[in-house]
Structure 1
Protein backbone atom coordinates (compact mmCIF):
# COMPACT_ATOMS: atom_id res chain seq x y z
CA UNK A 1 0.00 0.00 0.00
CA UNK A 2 1.20 3.50 -0.86
CA UNK A 3 0.00 6.13 1.62
CA UNK A 4 -2.30 8.78 0.17
CA UNK A 5 -1.03 12.18 1.15
CA UNK A 6 -2.92 15.43 1.38
CA UNK A 7 -2.55 17.53 -1.72
CA UNK A 8 0.70 19.44 -1.39
CA UNK A 9 1.37 21.23 -4.65
CA UNK A 10 4.85 22.11 -5.84
CA UNK A 11 4.53 24.94 -8.30
CA UNK A 12 6.49 27.25 -10.54
CA UNK A 13 5.39 29.51 -13.39
CA UNK A 14 4.78 26.58 -15.75
CA UNK A 15 4.76 23.50 -13.50
CA UNK A 16 2.27 22.22 -10.90
CA UNK A 17 2.95 18.73 -9.52
CA UNK A 18 2.10 16.72 -6.43
CA UNK A 19 2.94 13.41 -4.74
CA UNK A 20 -0.66 12.27 -4.29
CA UNK A 21 -3.40 10.20 -5.91
CA UNK A 22 -5.23 11.23 -9.07
CA UNK A 23 -8.61 12.00 -7.50
CA UNK A 24 -7.15 14.16 -4.74
CA UNK A 25 -5.05 16.05 -7.27
CA UNK A 26 -7.93 16.58 -9.70
CA UNK A 27 -10.12 17.91 -6.90
CA UNK A 28 -7.46 20.53 -6.15
CA UNK A 29 -7.47 21.98 -9.68
CA UNK A 30 -9.69 24.73 -11.01
CA UNK A 31 -12.63 24.15 -13.34
CA UNK A 32 -11.67 24.30 -17.05
CA UNK A 33 -8.07 25.03 -16.04
CA UNK A 34 -6.28 22.79 -18.57
CA UNK A 35 -6.42 22.52 -22.35
CA UNK A 36 -5.46 18.88 -22.79
CA UNK A 37 -5.52 15.63 -20.81
CA UNK A 38 -3.01 12.93 -21.78
CA UNK A 39 -2.61 10.01 -19.41
CA UNK A 40 -1.05 6.57 -19.13
CA UNK A 41 -3.12 5.17 -16.24
CA UNK A 42 -2.56 1.68 -14.79
CA UNK A 43 -4.07 -0.87 -17.17
CA UNK A 44 -4.44 -3.75 -14.73
CA UNK A 45 -3.73 -5.66 -17.91
CA UNK A 46 -5.17 -9.15 -17.88
CA UNK A 47 -7.84 -8.24 -15.35
CA UNK A 48 -7.78 -11.65 -13.67
CA UNK A 49 -6.76 -13.18 -10.37
CA UNK A 50 -3.58 -14.54 -11.93
CA UNK A 51 -2.17 -11.02 -12.36
CA UNK A 52 -3.46 -9.30 -9.23
CA UNK A 53 -0.60 -10.32 -6.94
CA UNK A 54 2.21 -10.15 -9.51
CA UNK A 55 4.68 -7.26 -8.97
CA UNK A 56 4.64 -4.87 -11.93
CA UNK A 57 8.38 -5.31 -12.40
CA UNK A 58 7.82 -8.99 -13.12
CA UNK A 59 4.53 -8.59 -14.95
CA UNK A 60 5.71 -6.05 -17.50
CA UNK A 61 9.48 -6.21 -17.45
CA UNK A 62 10.48 -9.63 -16.17
CA UNK A 63 12.33 -12.13 -18.34
CA UNK A 64 12.87 -15.50 -16.73
CA UNK A 65 14.07 -14.87 -13.19
CA UNK A 66 15.04 -11.26 -13.82
CA UNK A 67 12.73 -8.42 -12.83
CA UNK A 68 12.98 -4.68 -13.27
CA UNK A 69 15.14 -2.88 -10.67
CA UNK A 70 12.87 0.18 -11.00
CA UNK A 71 10.14 0.80 -8.37
CA UNK A 72 6.81 -0.95 -8.86
CA UNK A 73 3.93 1.36 -9.74
CA UNK A 74 0.46 1.53 -8.18
CA UNK A 75 -2.99 0.61 -9.46
CA UNK A 76 -2.33 -2.83 -10.93
CA UNK A 77 -4.44 -4.84 -8.48
CA UNK A 78 -7.86 -4.39 -10.11
CA UNK A 79 -9.91 -6.82 -12.14
CA UNK A 80 -11.69 -5.47 -15.22
CA UNK A 81 -14.88 -4.38 -13.44
CA UNK A 82 -12.90 -2.61 -10.71
CA UNK A 83 -10.76 -0.96 -13.34
CA UNK A 84 -13.86 0.18 -15.23
CA UNK A 85 -15.29 1.79 -12.11
CA UNK A 86 -12.00 3.46 -11.23
CA UNK A 87 -11.54 4.79 -14.76
CA UNK A 88 -15.06 6.21 -14.89
CA UNK A 89 -14.50 7.89 -11.51
CA UNK A 90 -11.26 9.66 -12.37
CA UNK A 91 -12.42 10.59 -15.88
CA UNK A 92 -15.55 12.20 -14.46
CA UNK A 93 -13.35 14.24 -12.11
CA UNK A 94 -11.05 15.18 -14.99
CA UNK A 95 -13.96 16.36 -17.14
CA UNK A 96 -14.52 19.28 -14.78
CA UNK A 97 -10.86 20.30 -15.04
CA UNK A 98 -10.58 20.02 -18.84
CA UNK A 99 -11.82 23.08 -20.73
CA UNK A 100 -14.85 22.73 -23.04
CA UNK A 101 -13.66 21.34 -26.36
CA UNK A 102 -10.34 20.29 -24.84
CA UNK A 103 -8.71 17.10 -26.10
CA UNK A 104 -7.95 13.96 -24.13
CA UNK A 105 -5.90 10.86 -24.98
CA UNK A 106 -5.68 7.80 -22.73
CA UNK A 107 -3.32 4.87 -23.27
CA UNK A 108 -4.42 1.26 -22.94
CA UNK A 109 -3.53 -2.17 -24.28
CA UNK A 110 -5.70 -4.54 -26.32
CA UNK A 111 -7.16 -6.25 -23.25
CA UNK A 112 -8.43 -3.04 -21.70
CA UNK A 113 -9.53 -1.29 -24.88
CA UNK A 114 -13.23 -2.24 -24.42
CA UNK A 115 -13.12 -1.12 -20.77
CA UNK A 116 -11.54 2.24 -21.56
CA UNK A 117 -13.84 3.07 -24.48
CA UNK A 118 -16.85 2.28 -22.28
CA UNK A 119 -15.47 4.41 -19.43
CA UNK A 120 -14.91 7.40 -21.72
CA UNK A 121 -18.49 7.34 -22.93
CA UNK A 122 -20.03 6.71 -19.49
CA UNK A 123 -18.05 9.58 -17.93
CA UNK A 124 -19.49 12.06 -20.42
CA UNK A 125 -16.63 12.75 -22.81
CA UNK A 126 -17.06 12.71 -26.59
CA UNK A 127 -15.18 9.67 -27.89
CA UNK A 128 -13.67 10.51 -31.29
CA UNK A 129 -11.52 7.49 -32.10
CA UNK A 130 -8.57 5.24 -31.32
CA UNK A 131 -5.01 6.07 -32.36
CA UNK A 132 -2.08 3.65 -32.32
CA UNK A 133 1.44 3.72 -30.98
CA UNK A 134 3.42 1.14 -32.94
CA UNK A 135 6.30 0.05 -30.71
CA UNK A 136 7.97 -1.70 -33.69
CA UNK A 137 9.29 -5.25 -33.73
CA UNK A 138 11.37 -4.64 -30.61
CA UNK A 139 8.68 -6.04 -28.29
CA UNK A 140 8.85 -9.49 -26.70
CA UNK A 141 7.75 -12.08 -29.29
CA UNK A 142 5.24 -14.87 -28.70
CA UNK A 143 5.42 -18.00 -30.81
CA UNK A 144 2.31 -18.78 -32.83
CA UNK A 145 0.89 -15.28 -32.38
CA UNK A 146 0.83 -11.84 -33.93
CA UNK A 147 3.18 -9.48 -32.15
CA UNK A 148 1.60 -7.34 -29.45
CA UNK A 149 3.56 -4.35 -30.69
CA UNK A 150 0.80 -1.74 -30.45
CA UNK A 151 -0.67 0.28 -27.64
CA UNK A 152 -3.85 2.25 -28.17
CA UNK A 153 -4.87 5.79 -27.35
CA UNK A 154 -8.58 6.34 -26.78
CA UNK A 155 -9.08 9.99 -27.66
CA UNK A 156 -11.75 12.62 -27.97
CA UNK A 157 -12.93 15.96 -26.63
CA UNK A 158 -14.77 17.43 -23.67
CA UNK A 159 -17.94 18.17 -25.55
CA UNK A 160 -17.88 19.37 -29.17
CA UNK A 161 -14.55 20.35 -30.68
CA UNK A 162 -13.66 24.02 -30.56
CA UNK A 163 -14.50 26.04 -33.67
CA UNK A 164 -11.39 26.31 -35.81
CA UNK A 165 -9.79 23.06 -34.61
CA UNK A 166 -8.04 22.16 -37.85
CA UNK A 167 -4.88 20.19 -37.03
CA UNK A 168 -4.50 16.90 -38.90
CA UNK A 169 -2.16 14.40 -37.26
CA UNK A 170 -1.19 10.83 -38.16
CA UNK A 171 -3.40 8.24 -36.48
CA UNK A 172 -0.47 5.84 -36.06
CA UNK A 173 2.93 6.78 -34.66
CA UNK A 174 5.87 4.38 -34.98
CA UNK A 175 8.55 4.61 -32.32
CA UNK A 176 10.55 1.87 -30.64
CA UNK A 177 10.27 1.55 -26.88
CA UNK A 178 13.60 -0.22 -26.54
CA UNK A 179 15.96 1.82 -24.40
CA UNK A 180 18.51 1.16 -21.66
CA UNK A 181 17.94 4.36 -19.72
CA UNK A 182 14.33 4.01 -18.60
CA UNK A 183 13.29 5.79 -15.42
CA UNK A 184 9.95 3.93 -15.12
CA UNK A 185 8.95 0.35 -15.84
CA UNK A 186 6.42 1.34 -18.52
CA UNK A 187 7.87 4.70 -19.53
CA UNK A 188 6.53 6.25 -22.74
CA UNK A 189 9.03 7.85 -25.14
CA UNK A 190 8.91 11.65 -25.14
CA UNK A 191 8.55 11.52 -28.94
CA UNK A 192 5.23 9.70 -28.54
CA UNK A 193 3.99 12.28 -26.06
CA UNK A 194 5.12 15.11 -28.35
CA UNK A 195 2.89 13.59 -31.04
CA UNK A 196 -0.13 13.53 -28.73
CA UNK A 197 0.36 16.91 -27.11
CA UNK A 198 0.65 18.62 -30.51
CA UNK A 199 -3.13 18.25 -31.07
CA UNK A 200 -3.91 21.03 -28.56
CA UNK A 201 -3.37 24.77 -28.89
CA UNK A 202 0.10 26.17 -28.40
CA UNK A 203 0.55 27.38 -24.85
CA UNK A 204 -2.44 25.40 -23.53
CA UNK A 205 -1.83 23.71 -20.15
CA UNK A 206 -1.44 19.92 -20.19
CA UNK A 207 -2.68 17.54 -17.48
CA UNK A 208 -1.47 14.03 -16.62
CA UNK A 209 -2.86 12.64 -13.33
CA UNK A 210 -0.70 9.49 -13.68
CA UNK A 211 2.55 11.15 -14.67
CA UNK A 212 4.96 8.36 -13.73
CA UNK A 213 8.47 9.54 -14.58
CA UNK A 214 7.12 12.66 -16.28
CA UNK A 215 7.33 12.03 -20.05
CA UNK A 216 4.06 13.91 -20.69
CA UNK A 217 5.40 16.82 -18.70
CA UNK A 218 8.68 16.89 -20.61
CA UNK A 219 6.75 17.00 -23.89
CA UNK A 220 4.50 19.77 -22.60
CA UNK A 221 7.23 21.95 -21.12
CA UNK A 222 9.53 21.49 -24.11
CA UNK A 223 6.77 22.80 -26.39
CA UNK A 224 6.01 25.83 -24.22
CA UNK A 225 2.91 24.39 -22.54
CA UNK A 226 2.44 24.49 -18.75
CA UNK A 227 2.11 21.10 -17.06
CA UNK A 228 -0.06 19.75 -14.25
CA UNK A 229 0.73 16.27 -12.97
CA UNK A 230 0.72 13.94 -9.99
CA UNK A 231 2.25 10.59 -9.03
CA UNK A 232 1.33 8.41 -6.06
CA UNK A 233 4.53 6.39 -5.51
CA UNK A 234 7.06 8.60 -3.66
CA UNK A 235 10.17 7.11 -5.31
CA UNK A 236 8.73 7.59 -8.80
CA UNK A 237 7.50 11.08 -7.93
CA UNK A 238 11.01 12.18 -6.95
CA UNK A 239 12.34 10.95 -10.30
CA UNK A 240 9.65 12.89 -12.16
CA UNK A 241 10.18 16.04 -10.12
CA UNK A 242 13.91 16.12 -10.83
CA UNK A 243 13.34 15.41 -14.51
CA UNK A 244 10.63 18.06 -14.92
CA UNK A 245 12.57 20.77 -13.10
CA UNK A 246 15.26 20.46 -15.75
CA UNK A 247 12.68 21.52 -18.36
CA UNK A 248 10.80 24.10 -16.30
CA UNK A 249 11.40 27.82 -16.58
Structure 2
Protein backbone atom coordinates (compact mmCIF):
# COMPACT_ATOMS: atom_id res chain seq x y z
CA UNK A 1 0.00 0.00 0.00
CA UNK A 2 0.99 3.66 -0.37
CA UNK A 3 2.38 5.55 2.61
CA UNK A 4 -0.78 7.70 2.64
CA UNK A 5 -4.34 6.76 1.78
CA UNK A 6 -6.98 9.29 2.81
CA UNK A 7 -10.68 9.31 1.99
CA UNK A 8 -13.54 11.82 2.13
CA UNK A 9 -16.21 9.31 3.18
CA UNK A 10 -18.37 8.14 6.04
CA UNK A 11 -16.12 5.92 8.16
CA UNK A 12 -18.78 3.20 8.59
CA UNK A 13 -18.93 2.74 4.83
CA UNK A 14 -15.17 2.90 4.38
CA UNK A 15 -14.32 0.55 7.26
CA UNK A 16 -16.43 -2.18 5.68
CA UNK A 17 -14.25 -1.90 2.56
CA UNK A 18 -10.89 -2.18 4.36
CA UNK A 19 -9.28 -5.62 4.48
CA UNK A 20 -9.81 -7.50 7.73
CA UNK A 21 -6.79 -7.78 10.03
CA UNK A 22 -4.86 -5.11 8.11
CA UNK A 23 -4.38 -2.32 10.68
CA UNK A 24 -1.65 -2.28 13.32
CA UNK A 25 -2.88 0.68 15.38
CA UNK A 26 -5.86 3.03 15.56
CA UNK A 27 -5.42 6.56 16.94
CA UNK A 28 -8.56 8.64 16.64
CA UNK A 29 -10.59 11.56 17.97
CA UNK A 30 -14.24 10.63 17.33
CA UNK A 31 -17.31 12.76 18.07
CA UNK A 32 -17.52 13.55 21.76
CA UNK A 33 -20.56 13.55 23.97
CA UNK A 34 -20.53 17.11 25.29
CA UNK A 35 -22.76 18.93 27.75
CA UNK A 36 -23.38 22.57 26.81
CA UNK A 37 -26.33 23.33 29.04
CA UNK A 38 -26.07 24.83 32.52
CA UNK A 39 -22.31 25.42 32.73
CA UNK A 40 -22.27 27.53 29.59
CA UNK A 41 -19.00 26.40 28.04
CA UNK A 42 -19.44 22.69 27.45
CA UNK A 43 -16.82 19.96 27.58
CA UNK A 44 -14.47 21.81 25.21
CA UNK A 45 -14.52 25.00 27.30
CA UNK A 46 -15.70 27.43 24.60
CA UNK A 47 -18.52 29.85 25.32
CA UNK A 48 -18.12 31.59 22.01
CA UNK A 49 -21.17 30.87 19.83
CA UNK A 50 -19.04 30.38 16.73
CA UNK A 51 -17.15 27.51 18.36
CA UNK A 52 -20.42 26.00 19.59
CA UNK A 53 -21.78 25.98 16.07
CA UNK A 54 -18.64 24.32 14.76
CA UNK A 55 -18.75 21.48 17.30
CA UNK A 56 -22.52 21.02 17.22
CA UNK A 57 -22.18 18.05 14.88
CA UNK A 58 -20.03 16.25 17.48
CA UNK A 59 -22.42 16.29 20.43
CA UNK A 60 -23.97 12.85 20.14
CA UNK A 61 -20.92 10.62 20.47
CA UNK A 62 -20.53 7.51 18.32
CA UNK A 63 -22.03 4.03 18.37
CA UNK A 64 -20.49 0.68 19.24
CA UNK A 65 -21.03 -0.25 15.59
CA UNK A 66 -17.97 1.85 14.77
CA UNK A 67 -15.96 -0.02 17.41
CA UNK A 68 -17.15 -3.33 15.98
CA UNK A 69 -15.87 -2.38 12.54
CA UNK A 70 -12.55 -1.15 13.93
CA UNK A 71 -12.02 -4.44 15.77
CA UNK A 72 -12.60 -6.26 12.46
CA UNK A 73 -9.88 -4.37 10.60
CA UNK A 74 -7.23 -4.40 13.35
CA UNK A 75 -4.78 -7.31 13.42
CA UNK A 76 -5.21 -7.29 17.19
CA UNK A 77 -7.09 -4.68 19.20
CA UNK A 78 -4.66 -1.79 19.68
CA UNK A 79 -6.45 1.55 19.89
CA UNK A 80 -6.28 5.05 21.39
CA UNK A 81 -9.51 7.06 21.53
CA UNK A 82 -9.67 10.71 22.57
CA UNK A 83 -12.91 11.06 24.52
CA UNK A 84 -14.93 12.99 27.08
CA UNK A 85 -15.75 11.75 30.56
CA UNK A 86 -19.26 10.88 29.37
CA UNK A 87 -17.91 8.19 27.03
CA UNK A 88 -15.71 6.37 29.52
CA UNK A 89 -18.40 3.96 30.70
CA UNK A 90 -19.21 3.01 27.11
CA UNK A 91 -15.56 2.37 26.25
CA UNK A 92 -14.66 0.52 29.45
CA UNK A 93 -17.66 -1.80 29.12
CA UNK A 94 -17.04 -2.45 25.44
CA UNK A 95 -13.36 -3.34 25.71
CA UNK A 96 -13.64 -5.25 28.97
CA UNK A 97 -16.18 -7.44 27.17
CA UNK A 98 -13.45 -7.98 24.56
CA UNK A 99 -11.08 -9.10 27.38
CA UNK A 100 -8.71 -6.21 26.64
CA UNK A 101 -6.27 -4.48 28.95
CA UNK A 102 -6.95 -0.76 29.16
CA UNK A 103 -5.42 2.46 30.48
CA UNK A 104 -6.63 6.02 30.81
CA UNK A 105 -4.34 8.85 29.75
CA UNK A 106 -5.24 12.44 30.61
CA UNK A 107 -4.48 15.73 28.90
CA UNK A 108 -4.76 18.79 31.14
CA UNK A 109 -4.86 22.37 29.88
CA UNK A 110 -3.24 24.80 32.30
CA UNK A 111 -5.02 27.85 30.82
CA UNK A 112 -8.67 26.72 30.37
CA UNK A 113 -11.44 29.17 29.57
CA UNK A 114 -12.55 30.57 32.97
CA UNK A 115 -16.15 29.45 32.78
CA UNK A 116 -17.28 27.14 35.57
CA UNK A 117 -20.91 27.93 36.44
CA UNK A 118 -22.10 25.02 38.58
CA UNK A 119 -19.39 22.69 37.26
CA UNK A 120 -15.66 22.06 37.31
CA UNK A 121 -13.43 23.72 34.74
CA UNK A 122 -13.28 22.17 31.29
CA UNK A 123 -9.54 21.65 31.63
CA UNK A 124 -9.19 17.90 31.05
CA UNK A 125 -9.61 15.54 28.13
CA UNK A 126 -9.05 11.80 28.17
CA UNK A 127 -7.36 9.27 25.92
CA UNK A 128 -8.70 5.76 26.36
CA UNK A 129 -6.21 3.03 25.40
CA UNK A 130 -7.20 -0.61 24.88
CA UNK A 131 -5.04 -3.48 23.71
CA UNK A 132 -5.65 -7.15 23.24
CA UNK A 133 -3.62 -9.61 25.27
CA UNK A 134 -0.32 -10.21 23.53
CA UNK A 135 -0.02 -6.68 22.09
CA UNK A 136 3.31 -5.23 23.22
CA UNK A 137 3.75 -1.72 24.59
CA UNK A 138 7.06 -0.21 23.57
CA UNK A 139 8.40 3.29 23.96
CA UNK A 140 10.64 4.69 26.69
CA UNK A 141 10.46 6.21 30.13
CA UNK A 142 9.95 9.58 28.43
CA UNK A 143 7.14 8.56 26.05
CA UNK A 144 5.05 6.38 28.39
CA UNK A 145 3.61 9.05 30.65
CA UNK A 146 -0.13 8.95 31.35
CA UNK A 147 -0.46 12.62 32.31
CA UNK A 148 0.12 15.59 29.98
CA UNK A 149 -0.04 19.26 30.93
CA UNK A 150 0.01 21.87 28.13
CA UNK A 151 -1.51 25.18 27.15
CA UNK A 152 -4.65 25.06 25.03
CA UNK A 153 -3.30 24.53 21.51
CA UNK A 154 -4.85 27.70 20.10
CA UNK A 155 -2.23 28.08 17.37
CA UNK A 156 -3.04 24.70 15.80
CA UNK A 157 -6.80 25.33 16.09
CA UNK A 158 -6.44 28.53 14.06
CA UNK A 159 -3.84 27.12 11.66
CA UNK A 160 -5.94 24.09 10.71
CA UNK A 161 -9.41 25.63 11.21
CA UNK A 162 -10.59 22.76 13.40
CA UNK A 163 -12.07 23.34 16.88
CA UNK A 164 -10.82 20.10 18.46
CA UNK A 165 -7.40 19.57 16.89
CA UNK A 166 -5.12 17.58 19.22
CA UNK A 167 -1.40 18.21 19.92
CA UNK A 168 0.86 16.25 17.58
CA UNK A 169 3.42 15.94 20.41
CA UNK A 170 0.99 13.75 22.39
CA UNK A 171 0.05 11.66 19.36
CA UNK A 172 3.78 11.13 18.62
CA UNK A 173 4.19 9.35 21.94
CA UNK A 174 1.12 7.17 21.44
CA UNK A 175 2.37 6.01 18.04
CA UNK A 176 5.93 5.43 19.28
CA UNK A 177 4.65 3.35 22.19
CA UNK A 178 2.23 1.17 20.25
CA UNK A 179 3.64 0.64 16.76
CA UNK A 180 6.79 0.06 14.74
CA UNK A 181 8.17 1.70 11.62
CA UNK A 182 6.14 0.80 8.49
CA UNK A 183 3.15 -0.27 10.58
CA UNK A 184 -0.25 0.87 9.31
CA UNK A 185 -1.95 3.56 11.42
CA UNK A 186 -5.67 4.27 10.94
CA UNK A 187 -7.67 7.33 11.95
CA UNK A 188 -11.35 6.94 10.95
CA UNK A 189 -12.21 10.45 12.23
CA UNK A 190 -9.23 12.18 10.64
CA UNK A 191 -10.28 15.81 11.09
CA UNK A 192 -7.42 18.08 10.03
CA UNK A 193 -4.87 15.25 9.87
CA UNK A 194 -2.92 15.40 13.14
CA UNK A 195 -2.63 11.61 13.42
CA UNK A 196 -1.51 11.44 9.80
CA UNK A 197 1.22 14.03 10.32
CA UNK A 198 2.55 12.15 13.33
CA UNK A 199 2.39 8.73 11.66
CA UNK A 200 4.16 9.83 8.49
CA UNK A 201 6.78 11.82 10.38
CA UNK A 202 7.57 8.65 12.36
CA UNK A 203 7.88 6.49 9.21
CA UNK A 204 4.54 4.71 9.53
CA UNK A 205 1.89 4.23 6.85
CA UNK A 206 -1.38 6.10 7.29
CA UNK A 207 -5.03 5.59 6.39
CA UNK A 208 -7.34 8.49 7.19
CA UNK A 209 -11.10 8.88 6.78
CA UNK A 210 -12.99 12.17 7.16
CA UNK A 211 -16.64 12.77 6.34
CA UNK A 212 -16.59 16.59 6.24
CA UNK A 213 -15.19 17.90 2.92
CA UNK A 214 -13.72 21.08 4.42
CA UNK A 215 -11.63 19.16 6.97
CA UNK A 216 -10.64 16.56 4.38
CA UNK A 217 -9.26 19.34 2.17
CA UNK A 218 -7.34 20.81 5.11
CA UNK A 219 -5.83 17.38 5.83
CA UNK A 220 -4.87 16.98 2.17
CA UNK A 221 -3.03 20.29 2.20
CA UNK A 222 -1.39 19.52 5.53
CA UNK A 223 -0.09 16.09 4.48
CA UNK A 224 1.11 17.03 0.99
CA UNK A 225 4.60 17.62 2.35
CA UNK A 226 4.82 13.84 2.88
CA UNK A 227 3.35 12.79 -0.49
CA UNK A 228 2.88 15.11 -3.45
CA UNK A 229 0.38 12.68 -5.02
CA UNK A 230 -2.37 13.58 -2.53
> Which TM-score bucket, shorter chain as reference?
0.7 to 0.9
Counterparts of 1:15-54 in structure 2, within 5 Å, are: 15-46=4-35
* Structure 2 portions without partners, runs of 5+: none
CA RMSD of aligned residues (A): 3.0
CA displacement at 1:107 relative to structure 2: 0.9
1:185 aligns with 2:159: no
Q: Provide, for residues 193-246 of structure 1, a one-character-per-residue CA deviation record: whole Å limited to 9, x for no partner.
A: 112111122221100000100000000000000101110011111111111122
Give the secondary-structure state (helix, strand or coil) at the position aligned to 2:169.
helix
Aligned to 1:67: 50
Q: Secondary structure at the match of 1:238?
A: helix
Alignment gaps of 5+ in structure 1: 1-11, 52-56
Aligned-pair distance for 1:27?
Answer: 1.1
For 2:123, the equivalent position in structure 1 comes to 149
Q: Would you say 1:231 and 2:210 are equivalent positions?
A: yes
Structure-2 separation of matches of 1:60 and 1:150? 9
- Please list, as runs of the form range in 1=range in 2, the aligned pairs for 1:57-206 lying within 5 A after superposition: 60=44, 62-64=46-48, 66-68=49-51, 74-76=57-59, 78=60, 83=61, 86-100=62-76, 102-122=77-97, 124=98, 126-135=100-109, 137-141=110-114, 142=116, 146-157=120-131, 159-162=132-135, 165-168=137-140, 169-182=144-157, 183=160, 184-199=162-177, 200-206=179-185
Aligned pair count? 219
Secondary structure at the counterpart of residue 180 of structure 1 = helix
Query: Cα 1:25–1:125, aligned 2, differ >3 Å: closer, same or farther?
Result: farther
Kept in 1: contact 2:20–2:75 (CA 8 A): yes
Partner Cα separation in structure 2 for residue 215 and residue 39 of structure 1:
9
Aligned mate of 1:216, from 195, 198, 203: 195
Conserved? CA contact 2:83–2:127, under 8 Å: yes
TM-score normalized by structure 2? 0.82
SS of aligned partner of 1:170: coil
